Amino acid sequence: MHDIIEQLQERSETVPVPLELPTFEQLVEVEEQILISLPRELKEYLLYASDVIYGAIEPVTASDPYSHTYLPEVTCYAWSIGMPREMIAICQQGDAFYCIDQDGQVHFWKNGGFTDIYWESFWEWVEEIWLKIKY
């Protein structure tokens, strides 16, 4: 995990208004808003690397409720179009979503169903998807 976070931070783009990392209290607020506990690896990402801006992938964030990547908003939208309620969105791609289950596996939900592809962990998804898709 630490190596992946380091890779993300090295690749992070400089932007005029940088993202901020959330506090632990903000993560508790996010969990209260969606009424589901966040899996451990998602919490780690949010606390230590959700300020990274890299490539075309925009994973969820938890510090700014007005951001288009704010986890509760992204997840609630995904639920409103049919994504199962036990899943938490981690990245929106149009009306398709990468989402994480309570066991920490990441799935791709699109057109009302899951694809056959999944990743065993959030960090595996970061390595195989986010770090490999530049634009």
Helical packing angle, 40-48 and 24-34, nearest 10°: 130
Query: What residue type is assigned to position 112 of the chain?
Result: G
Place of tokens 């899996």: 39
Q: Which residues lie below 8 Å from residue 33, measured CB to CB, with a gap of 6+?
A: 72
Q: Which two tokens stand for residue 35?
A: 């009424």
pTM of the model: 0.92
Region of 107 on the Ramachandran plot (φ > 0 left; ψ -120 to 50 alpha; else beta): beta
Which residue from 71, 66, 23 is spatially nearest to 47, judged by alpha carbons? 23
Whether the pLDDT of residue 88 is over 70: the answer is yes
Strands of 34-135, DSSP E: 88-93, 96-100, 106-110, 113-119
Residue 13 pLDDT > 60: yes
Confidence at residue 5, expressed as pLDDT on a 0 to 100 scale? 85
Going by their DSSP bridges, the two strands 96-100 and 88-93 should be labelled as antiparallel
Cβ-based neighbour number of residue 106 at 10 Å: 26
pLDDT tens-digit readout, 28-86: 999 999 999 999 999 999 999 999 999 889 999 999 999 999 999 999 999 999 999 99
Q: Note the pLDDT of residue 18.
A: 79
